[in-house]
Chains A and B, each alone.
Chain A
Amino acid sequence: MSRVKRIAKELEECRQDTQSGVTLKLNNENDLTHLTGYFKGPPGTPYENGLFQISIDIPNDYPFKPPQMKFATKIYHPNISSVTGAICLNILKDKWTPVLTLKSTLISLQLLLQSPEPNDPQDAEVAKHFLSNKQGFEETAAYWTKIYATTKDNESVNVELKDSQLYGIDDEIVNQFENMGFPRDKTIEVLRRMGIKSFKGVNNKSDVENKILEELLKECQ
């Protein structure tokens, strides 16, 4: 069983290496096929200060087939599904080679956080946000990091969870429609579906408002 030996060796190497900032842990001491990886969000990005958990499943054919990785921590990133945590990265699919390791793959993921590829997205909604309003995207990503990826001993954990902010939607819009009598969750759902985050830079504001109204009326029928 070359797989067992290889994973054991990778674990050991990762344990000794304190430089890379990547940690690997077995979920269960007796099972070498389910691991969890941890790394810090790269500084200078909206993910800074966050600690991200990656769930790792090792296939039978490892290292000849890539490990299956996904984000266990919720993250707001164009190449990672905001719902499931699935990752779109070539080395986890066809560009995998047996020379790559769990550690090097985790480092690649860290790099992916630094340089997103919105043109090859996993999460279309996030990618659209990124391309249309980079600042808004970064604010939302930072917000997600704060809420989901901050460790318990960090004091900022007690941030109030705000649904509009979660999707990077300007709270004013939500309030505007809520005051008209529409339920808050429906309003957010419609706004998400229509890809509207804020009215900043929108010229035909009243047109857009009408469209939102139309959608909301349909939704609340």
Chain B
Amino acid sequence: MLNFDEDDNISFEYDEEEEEEEDDEEDDDTNIEADVEDSDDDASSFAFESDDNDHAENYKSNTTSNNNNQLDTPISKHLRDDSSVVGCNGTLYLPWSIEQFIQIKFLDALDKLKTFNLYGCSDDDLLIMLQYKKWQQEEVVNEFFDNHDKFYKKCGLLLGKDTNNQFEIVKNFSCFICCEDYKSTEVYSLTCNHQYCLKCYHHYINNEINNGRLITCIEPDCKFVIPHKDISHMYSLIESKHSVIIVEKTLLQNPLLIANARELINSKITYKWCPATDCSSFTELSISDVSCEAQKQSDLKNSNDISKVPIVGCFENHEFCFNCGYENHLPCPCWIVKKWIKKCEDDSETANWIDANTHTCPKCHTSIEKNGGCNHMTCRKCKYEFCWICFNKWSEHNNNYSCNRFRDDQKEEEIRRNKSRQTLERYLHFYKRYSIHETSMKGDKKTLRKIDEVTKIYMEDRRSKNEINNLSWIDIEFLPEAMRSLQNGRKTLKWTYCFAFYLASSNFSQIFETNQDYLNKSVEDLSEVFEKIMDKKNDDKVGTILKNKIKIINLSELILRRQKTLIKSAEENLLNGLLKFEID
């Protein structure tokens, strides 16, 4: 114990010293860390704890400098309240999840409606009435008191009597729909007593539900509406066929409510789904005047003012452009993005294939696919004979066999004859980089997910062993932040290639390229750090993370700063006309 106390004290002292020096002397700081580790060698079991402490303290001091930055980051938090979030271009928006939407728009309306104590109405009835009236509880109340018999009928509900909706097991049942004869099977029927087997009912509902409308009895002239609760129950029953336990769905998971919510969200222009893969959240634009917004959007169509691009975030913290529905594509304006995407869709696959599978004839630049084993090629078009490996003339080749040798005096590339060829190559240059960053983004995502897993497992492990002074969430809070900035940095980088493709060359385009280069470097650096952590040979992954903490934090800050500089300067230079797009 004595040993431990000492250690703790020592590290604590160091911390205080560090805090004073930290900002300007990072190198010093890592030295001290190493010292601590060295002195800990004999008390190895405590080595990590004290190390931890160091890092924790380091981090605290680091966050103070980090804070300024955090305020500027596009999305700082996504807590649900009624105040909107401000996007990086000043766009006001609200990130939503489907559950929230159902809770707030549907279930809260239900709760309010319940307070009216409408005579004889069950919760099921109220839900049906609300959905029928598009969740306007005032209208439900009005119409109910206006003529409740008529309203009931319109909603497909039963007048004042108890409903008799049943799930039951029936013997010797033949279902009219699937024409199966069952010895004993589960059937469902509404009050009208039109019975069909559960499988058919489920199939029927599954087909109807995508409209997001209330579902009536299968019988065409029967207007009874199936209550939400029964739909849930039916889904649970069918799903439980594959497992033993029946898991009842809550109203938040009700398939019909979800379908109805989707329908409502789709139909309103102020809502947009997040375009990220597997993301089911959506974002609402906070605007007071819809028509004004439509005007704004049409203005945006050909505008070069990227400070107006409505970048918003979703509930899962993905950023996207509300105008064109793509991911955050800054520094490109929306119309350039559209052009680019179209171009890529038209050309990219072909270009990719040509690039990967063909060489060009050294003489006439026709693309040639090699379909045999021999390397002696003859161009179909110009009859030029050459070697597939070194691209030299075949006749010379035989006498002077040099393509197995490495030559550093490689022949200068021939002058391009063909202008269309040049444009293709130019396009390929940018497209390749664009798509490489896209692939790298996916690779990064994988690495980051693994790191996330490793740290989680590690911490759970420590916690379960009840070790004192274990790693807490605060200690690795920097990780998600860094991961996000890596991802966003790459995204920006990716779009800079689209930007550069359409950019007319000038002195200012060179500045842009320099900025691009800087961003590229720091993104690659951080990506490499993460990759090294996940290297198979690395046994102490968490240790490496903590060791590289400062590096990671600094790099991620650097990325943020460079990203912002790049976008800001692009924005300004576009506005004052120093940067121009060149569209053929």
Name the interface residues of B173-224: CB closer than 8 Å to any CB of A: 176-180, 199-200, 203-204, 207, 218-220
Closest chain B CB from A9 CB (angstroms):
5
Closest chain A CB from B388 CB (angstroms):
49
In the complex, besides A6-B177, A97-B220, 12 extra interface pairs with C-beta distance below 8 angstroms are A2-B177, A2-B178, A2-B200, A6-B178, A61-B207, A63-B177, A65-B207, A97-B218, A98-B200, A98-B203, A98-B218, A99-B218
- Please determine whether A99 and B220 come into contact, CB atoms closer than 8 angstroms: yes
CA distance A40 to B220 in the complex (A): 25
Cβ of A5 within 8 Å of any chain B Cβ, yes or no, is yes
Question: With a CB–CB cut-off of 8 A, which chain B residues contact A99?
Answer: 176-177, 218-220
CA distance A91 to B221 in the complex (A): 12
- B-contact bits for A89-106, CB 8 A (1 contact / 0 none): 001000101111000000
Closest chain A CB from B231 CB (angstroms):
16
Question: With a CB–CB cut-off of 8 A, which chain B residues contact A100?
Answer: 220
- Please determine whether B179 and A9 come into contact, CB atoms closer than 8 angstroms: yes
CA distance A100 to B177 in the complex (A): 9
Contact of B219 among A2, A9, A97 (CB under 8 A): A97
- Please determine whether A95 and B220 come into contact, CB atoms closer than 8 angstroms: yes
- B-contact bits for A115-133, CB 8 A (1 contact / 0 none): 0000000000000000000
A: interface residue count bin = 10 to 19
Question: With a CB–CB cut-off of 8 A, which chain A residues contact B199?
Answer: 2
Question: With a CB–CB cut-off of 8 A, which chain B residues contact A199?
Answer: none
- Please determine whether A64 and B207 come into contact, CB atoms closer than 8 angstroms: yes
CA distance A8 to B179 in the complex (A): 9
Question: With a CB–CB cut-off of 8 A, which chain B residues contact A8?
Answer: 179
Considering only CB atoms, which chain A residue lies closest to B199 in the complex? A2
Considering only CB atoms, which chain B residue lies closest to A100 in the complex? B220
The secondary-structure label for the interface of chain B is: loop
- Please determine whether B180 and A5 come into contact, CB atoms closer than 8 angstroms: yes
Cβ-closest 10 pairs across A and B: A2-B178, A6-B179, A9-B179, A98-B177, A5-B179, A64-B207, A97-B220, A64-B203, A99-B218, A97-B218
CA distance A63 to B180 in the complex (A): 13
Closest chain A CB from B196 CB (angstroms):
8
CA distance A1 to B204 in the complex (A): 16
Interface residues in chain B, defined as those with a beta carbon under 8 Å from any beta carbon in chain A: 176-180, 199-200, 203-204, 207, 218-220
Given contacts A97-B220, A99-B218, A99-B220, contact A64 B204 (CB under 8 A): yes
Considering only CB atoms, which chain B residue lies closest to A2 in the complex? B178
Closest chain B CB from A58 CB (angstroms):
14
Considering only CB atoms, which chain B residue lies closest to A6 in the complex? B179
CA distance A64 to B200 in the complex (A): 8
Considering only CB atoms, which chain B residue lies closest to A3 in the complex? B178
Of B178, B180, B199, B218, the most chain A CB neighbours within 10 A belong to B178
Closest chain A CB from B163 CB (angstroms):
21
- B-contact bits for A59-76, CB 8 A (1 contact / 0 none): 001011100000000000
- Please determine whether B204 and A98 come into contact, CB atoms closer than 8 angstroms: yes
Closest chain B CB from A102 CB (angstroms):
13
24 inter-chain pairs at a CB distance below 8 angstroms, sorted by A residue, are: A2-B178, A2-B179, A2-B180, A2-B199, A2-B200, A5-B178, A5-B180, A6-B177, A6-B178, A6-B179, A61-B207, A63-B178, A64-B204, A65-B207, A95-B220, A97-B204, A97-B218, A97-B219, A97-B220, A98-B177, A98-B204, A99-B177, A99-B218, A100-B220
Question: With a CB–CB cut-off of 8 A, which chain B residues contact A9?
Answer: 179
Considering only CB atoms, which chain B residue lies closest to A94 in the complex? B211
Closest chain A CB from B209 CB (angstroms):
12
Question: With a CB–CB cut-off of 8 A, which chain B residues contact A65?
Answer: 207
Question: With a CB–CB cut-off of 8 A, which chain A residues contact B219?
Answer: 97, 99
- B-contact bits for A169-212, CB 8 A (1 contact / 0 none): 00000000000000000000000000000000000000000000
Question: With a CB–CB cut-off of 8 A, which chain A residues contact B220?
Answer: 91, 95, 97, 99-100
Closest chain B CB from A11 CB (angstroms):
11
Considering only CB atoms, which chain B residue lies closest to A10 in the complex? B179
Of A8, A91, A95, A98, the most chain B CB neighbours within 10 A belong to A98
CA distance A6 to B196 in the complex (A): 14
Considering only CB atoms, which chain B residue lies closest to A95 in the complex? B220
Question: With a CB–CB cut-off of 8 A, which chain A residues contact B177?
Answer: 2, 6, 63, 98-99
CA distance A30 to B176 in the complex (A): 24
Question: With a CB–CB cut-off of 8 A, which chain B residues contact A98?
Answer: 177, 200, 203-204, 218
Closest chain A CB from B275 CB (angstroms):
30
Considering only CB atoms, which chain B residue lies closest to A5 in the complex? B179
CA distance A99 to B217 in the complex (A): 10
CA distance A8 to B180 in the complex (A): 12
CA distance A185 to B219 in the complex (A): 50
CA distance A9 to B176 in the complex (A): 10
- B-contact bits for A2-18, CB 8 A (1 contact / 0 none): 10011011000000000
Considering only CB atoms, which chain A residue lies closest to B200 in the complex? A98
Closest chain B CB from A23 CB (angstroms):
20
Question: With a CB–CB cut-off of 8 A, which chain A residues contact B178?
Answer: 2, 5-6, 63
Closest chain A CB from B195 CB (angstroms):
12
Considering only CB atoms, which chain A residue lies closest to B207 in the complex? A64
Considering only CB atoms, which chain A residue lies closest to B177 in the complex? A98
CA distance A64 to B206 in the complex (A): 10
CA distance A98 to B204 in the complex (A): 8
CA distance A65 to B206 in the complex (A): 11
Question: With a CB–CB cut-off of 8 A, which chain B residues contact A63?
Answer: 177-178
Question: With a CB–CB cut-off of 8 A, which chain A residues contact B207?
Answer: 61, 64-65
Question: With a CB–CB cut-off of 8 A, which chain B residues contact A64?
Answer: 203-204, 207
Question: With a CB–CB cut-off of 8 A, which chain B residues contact A97?
Answer: 204, 218-220
Question: With a CB–CB cut-off of 8 A, which chain B residues contact A2?
Answer: 177-180, 199-200
Question: With a CB–CB cut-off of 8 A, which chain B residues contact A5?
Answer: 178-180
CA distance A148 to B74 in the complex (A): 70
CA distance A8 to B178 in the complex (A): 11
Question: With a CB–CB cut-off of 8 A, which chain A residues contact B176?
Answer: 99
CA distance A100 to B204 in the complex (A): 13
CA distance A99 to B200 in the complex (A): 11
Considering only CB atoms, which chain A residue lies closest to B216 in the complex? A97
Closest chain B CB from A37 CB (angstroms):
19
Name the interface residues of A41-63: CB closer than 8 Å to any CB of B: 61, 63
